[in-house]
Amino acid sequence: MSFFEKHEEVLERAIQANLERTYYAQYPEHPKAYGEDAPVNGEKAYANALGKDFKELLQTGTEGWGGEENSPYTREDLGIRYPLFTPNVLVEKAMKAKKAWAKLGPEERAGILVEALDRIKNRFFEIAHATMHTTGQSFIMSFQASGPHAADRALEAIAMAYEEQARFPEEVQWVKPMGKFDITLTKEYKTIPKGVALVIGCSTFPTWNTVPGLFASLATGNPTIVKPHPKSVLPIAIVVAEIQKVLAETGLDPHICQLGADVSTNLITKSLAEHPDVAIIDYTGGSAFGNYLESLHGKTVFTEKAGVNSCILDSVADLPAVLQNIAFSVSLYSGQMCTAPQNFFIPETGIATANGTVSFEDLVAQFKTAIEGIAKHPKMGVGVLGAIQNDTTLHRLDSIRDLAVEVGLESQPVDSPEYPSIRAASPSVLVADAHNEALYELEMFGPIIFIVKTKDTNDSVARAKNLARRHGAITCLAYTTNPLVKEYIKEEMEEVFVPVTFNLTGGIFVNQHSAFSDFHVTGGNASGNASFTNPDFVNRRFVWIGYREG
């Protein structure tokens, strides 16, 4: 039985889920679902990897070894070294592997890739520890984001790629009636992969943000090189290793999927991106480098860059439930999520609630209390905030002390009994007047939020829209009990291609984008030109060719 036959049903269900967008999760997000021994074994495997060379890859042509990961929890180096390759070696190996992978066809490729996901599933716990100690995410978030949620996003991309490549028939008889006779041609349609693909990872979500592009490029027949962030390699190295093993088992060249790790002193991203044989680039990271990649001529580039996300508060039914929800959104992984809200637009006259109007000042005070409640909660605190991935983000908290702005809530170091050396900090809340746009208009990555005092909701919407137009936005959260205001917010924000989430309370947060249902990034504003996973995300990776014969 081929891997396609083995996984055909999963693929069919995933295609259906992509279309229906109601709910589908192939990989359970509860650690318990993975068996009793899985947690212990995963932790052991992670511990066992520390301080050693990562030798699971089946790649050849190594030029040396290097690694510089450092745990935001222990502040100790992981001590893992990865094989290093020159950009030319990586691309040459990819070019050599290209033809066989293209020839295999969409079905067999999809089967192999779903099989790889199933193998990766057996390493979710190990990947979780690796994610925790490279990104600073809490353990449970590391498990979910890098494990099941990432695998579901990968499957979503495989399913979309498979569906699109099967869209047109392989062969048809084209018969054109000409009156006295017919003209007949045999026509064939075929998808041709564009070429070598490159996926550039980020330090905070090393698998979740990398696997959609990786699996989309592979599923559409392109040999793919993953260039992880040097500070966050292990989670995706395990993913690549498992893909390579399935490839080798199938008798295919493991160089169809390569890890192209590098070190800060010798970054290879630009050389790879500019290599003439690299045709496709996926990127998550800062806007400056993303804009440079988008400007490269003749490349197909998919980006997720920085954005400034807004929350518009107009009116609410249940204020405590709202505050709990937004305080959690702000705290989750210390705001180190591209989907986290940064600017909270609140009218100076306050907002209407079920119990009458709450003044601006009262609202700020209650919001602060809700945030403090999470940060100082002995059980939740560090479990929600996680750790700060790097010193730059931590130093940003210092730099804002010089801003001429009212400090609503000062960031505090956060202690962890388990990890005394943890790099962690509670959120900083700044209160700004709306016209001081320079303060809050740019992304302040990390645990920094602005409460922006506006004239009224129209002013809030106009400012949120304007920021999204100029700097991009990935999410927008809005609270209103007024259907007209709701319509107005939708109409305004859709002009800048920002999806709006309304009136969230309870256990779901604006930060979360669900596979098989939520498009992650719209691709319509400066926060990125691509979307997980709309049809473009796969279609732009291959070319339709038609053959004709007389």
Residues that bind a second copy (CB under 8 A): 19-23, 30, 164, 167-169, 172-179, 183, 185, 187, 189-190, 192, 194, 291, 294-295, 297, 490, 494-495, 497-508, 514, 517-519, 522-524, 531, 534-536, 539-540, 543-550
Cα–Cα distance, 315 to 488 (Å, whole number): 14
CB 345, min distance to a second copy, A: 18
Centroid of chain to Cα 66: 26
Nearer to a second copy, 416 or 534 (CB): 534
Nearer to a second copy, 378 or 550 (CB): 550
At a CB cut-off of 8 Å and minimum separation 6, what does 483 contact? none
Nearer to a second copy, 286 or 546 (CB): 546
Contact 281, 516 (CB under 8 A): no
CB 42, min distance to a second copy, A: 22
DSSP state of 427: P
Alpha-helical regions (H) of 60-149: 87-121, 124-135, 139-144
Nearer to a second copy, 217 or 531 (CB): 531
Nearer to a second copy, 22 or 355 (CB): 22
At a CB cut-off of 8 Å and minimum separation 6, what does 343 contact? 308, 309, 310, 311, 440, 449, 450, 452, 464, 467
CA separation (Å) from 64 to 253, 260, 440?
A: 22, 12, 44
Whether residue 135 is preceded by a cis peptide bond, meaning omega within 30 degrees of 0, is no
CB 549, min distance to a second copy, A: 4
Nearer to a second copy, 111 or 472 (CB): 472
Cα–Cα distance, 132 to 140 (Å, whole number): 9
CB 380, min distance to a second copy, A: 18
CB 547, min distance to a second copy, A: 6
Contact 312, 476 (CB under 8 A): yes
CB 333, min distance to a second copy, A: 20
Nearer to a second copy, 59 or 501 (CB): 501
Cα–Cα distance, 158 to 442 (Å, whole number): 35
CB 424, min distance to a second copy, A: 28
CB 129, min distance to a second copy, A: 24
Nearer to a second copy, 331 or 512 (CB): 512
Helix (H, G, I), strand (E, B) or coil at 365: helix
First to last CA, the chain: 38
